[in-house]
Amino acid sequence: MGVHQFGRKVSILVGQDGGAALELSDLRVVYTIKRGDNQTPNSARLRVFNVSDATRHRIEREFGRIVVQAGYEGNFGIIFDGTIKQVRRGRENQTDTYLDITAADGDSAYNFAVVNNTLSAGSTAADHVQVCTRAMVQFGVTLGYTPFGNPTSSKPTAADIADQQAKVGAARKPLDAKQSEQLALLGQVKDLRVRAEELSQAGDQAGEIALLRQAQGLLGQVDQLEKEVNSLYLPAWQREDAKLKAMQASAALPDPPVASRQGLPRGKVMFGMARDFMRWTARTEQTVWSIQDGKVIMVPETSYLPGEIPVITAETGMIGMPEQTQNGITIKMLTNPSVKIGRLIRIDNASVQRYEYSLNVGQKEQNERIQKQAKLQDDGFYYVMIAEHSGDTRGKEYYTDVFCLAADVTVLPDSLNDRGEVKPENAIKRFG
C-alpha cells in the first residue's frame, strides 16, 4: 500500500472516556510521540500554545485521556491513544504561554496491575496471558493480538459489531441534527443577504442594514453550533466510529497460528505484577510483548503482525535516504499513521545508504554481528521496532522516524559473540 501524502490533517482530542472532549488542533501544538515493541509504555509529550484559562482548567482537573490522530487525506489515523499523566503551565516569552501535556499508553496497567490467581494443571501460555490482561482491564488495557489461540476468543462477534453499529448510529443522530440546523441557518443567511442586496439596489439603506444585522446574528448562532459540534457531538461520534472500525478490522483478521498448546504438568500460582508474568510468558513463548493503543499485543520473534504493508518511497513521503546502522535500518518520512509497531513496511533497497564497517582487526566479530543483525532483506520488507512521530501544527515539522530490522534477520545472542563461537545450525531467525 502506497498513499501519496498530500493534505495534512491533525486531530488532538482531550477528554473523558465516553464523555465530553475538546479538540486542540486549532491551536498551535508541538508534539513528540515515542512508540516501540518493548514492554516500556509508549509516551507522548505535547506543548499547546496560548490555551485559555477555562480550557486549561478542564485539561488539568477534568480530562484524563488524549488521542492524537495525524496523517494526510486518504491516510489518516491514530498515532497515540493514552492517559494524561502530567500537565504543566509555562511561558515561552512575553506574549506566548504554553501548556505541556505528558501522556503514556498503558502506564497505569504496566505499573499497578497485580495478578493473584491459581491455575490448575494443564494451563497454557494463553491462559497465563488471559489472567494478566484481566488484571489490566481495570486500568483501561485489554487483550489484542497474540500468536496463540486464546481460551476465549478476543475477536468481536457479529452481535458485538451490531451493538457498536447501533452506538455509532445513536451518536450520529444528534451530530446530523446539529449540522442540519447549521445548514438551515446558513440558508437563511443567504436569503437575507440576497434580500439585502435587492433593498440596496432599490435605495432602501435602512432595510438593507436591518437585514444584514439579522444575518450577522444568525451567523453567530452558526458559530456557536460549530463549537458545540467540534467539542461534543463530533468527538463523541468519532470515538464510537473508531471503535466500530477497530472491531470490524479485528473481526476480519485471520485466526492467528496456534503456538505451543502443551500445558503445564502441575498447577501454577500467579501472584505479583502482571507485567512480570507477561515478560516471563513472552520469553518462554519466544515472543515480544508491548501495549499499543490500550491493547496488549504479543508478536512472535519469528513473525510479525498481520495487516497492510505500507510502501515507503519518495512519492509516498520518504525524506532523504534510509540508512543502515549497526543496529538496523533508520528511515525518515512524512507523518504516516499506517506505520505500526510489529508490522512490516517495504522500501527500495537501492535507496539505502550502507553502513561503513570498521577496519580494526579487533572489531571483526562486531562487524560480523552487524552484517547479520543490520542486513538488508532481499525483497525490501522490514519489521518496525520503533516509530517516533513529531509535529508542529503551525510549522514544518511533521515527520515519522522509523527504526526497523530485515524481515529475515538473525539476532545473535551476545554470549556467542563474546566467546567468538560459531552460531548453531538451528539458531532462531527472529523474523521471516
Q: For residue range 66-120, what is the model confidence (pLDDT) as tens digits?
A: 999 999 887 889 999 999 999 999 999 989 999 999 999 999 999 999 999 999 9
Is the model's pLDDT at 410 over the cut of 70? no
User: How far is 34 from 298, CA to CA, in rounded Å?
Assistant: 19
Nearest to 285 by CA among 300, 295, 268: 300
Nearest to 317 by CA among 396, 400, 373, 218: 400
Q: Left, alpha or beta for 158 (phi > 0: left; psi -120 to 50: alpha)?
A: alpha
Most confident of 199-208, 236-245, 288-297: 288-297
Count the neighbouring beta carbons within 10 Å of the beta carbon of residue 72: 20
Is the model's pLDDT at 326 over the cut of 80? yes
Nearest to 303 by CA among 337, 343, 252, 338: 343
Query: Average pLDDT in the 244-269 region?
Result: 70
The mean of the pLDDT values for the chain is 84
pLDDT at 150: 46
Whether residue 333 contacts residue 71, with contact meaning beta carbons closer than 8 Å, is answered with: no
pLDDT at 204: 87
Helix and strand numbers, DSSP H then E, in the chain:
9, 17
Q: Are strands 43-49 and 29-36 parallel, antiparallel or unpaired?
A: antiparallel
In single-letter form, the type of residue at position 324 comes to Q
Query: In a 10 Å sphere around its CB, with 0-12 CB exposed, 13-18 middle and 19+ buried, how is residue 204 labelled?
Result: middle
Is the model's pLDDT at 427 over the cut of 90? no
Q: For residue range 117-176, what is the model confidence (pLDDT) as tens digits?
A: 999 998 888 899 999 998 998 888 999 888 875 444 456 678 888 888 998 899 889 888
Q: For residue range 174-213, what is the model confidence (pLDDT) as tens digits?
A: 888 888 998 999 999 999 988 988 888 888 888 888 888 9
Q: Which long-range contacts (CB under 8 A, 24 or more apart) does 182-191 make?
A: 182/222, 182/225, 182/226, 182/229, 185/218, 185/219, 185/221, 185/222, 185/225, 186/222, 188/215, 188/218, 189/215, 189/218, 189/219, 189/222
Could you tell me what percent of the chain has a pLDDT over 70? 88
Q: Are strands 142-143 and 295-300 parallel, antiparallel or unpaired?
A: parallel
Instruction: Write down the pTM of the prediction.
Output: 0.68
Burial 147-175, CB ≥16 within 10 A → b, else e: bbebeeeeebeeeeeeebeebbeebeeeb
Class of domain 8-107: mainly beta
Task: Please report which helix (H) or strand (E) contains residue 21, including its range.
Answer: strand 21-23
User: How far is 251 from 257, CA to CA, in rounded Å?
Assistant: 15
Could you tell me what percent of the chain has a pLDDT over 90? 38
Q: How confident is the model at residue 4 (pLDDT cuts 50, 70, 90)?
A: low
User: How far is 33 from 31, CA to CA, in rounded Å?
Assistant: 7
Burial 88-97, CB ≥16 within 10 A → b, else e: eeeeeeeeeb
pLDDT at 227: 83
Of 393 and 372, the one with more pLDDT: 393
User: How far is 14 from 83, CA to CA, in rounded Å?
Assistant: 9
Q: Where are the domains of the chain?
A: 8-107, 110-155+254-292, 159-252, 314-419
Whether residue 410 contacts residue 432, with contact meaning beta carbons closer than 8 Å, is answered with: no
Q: Where are the beta strands (DSSP E) in 293-361?
A: 295-300, 318-324, 329-334, 344-346
Of 208 and 28, the one with more pLDDT: 28
Of 355 and 221, the one with more pLDDT: 221
Is the model's pLDDT at 406 over the cut of 60? yes
pLDDT at 2: 55
pLDDT at 320: 93
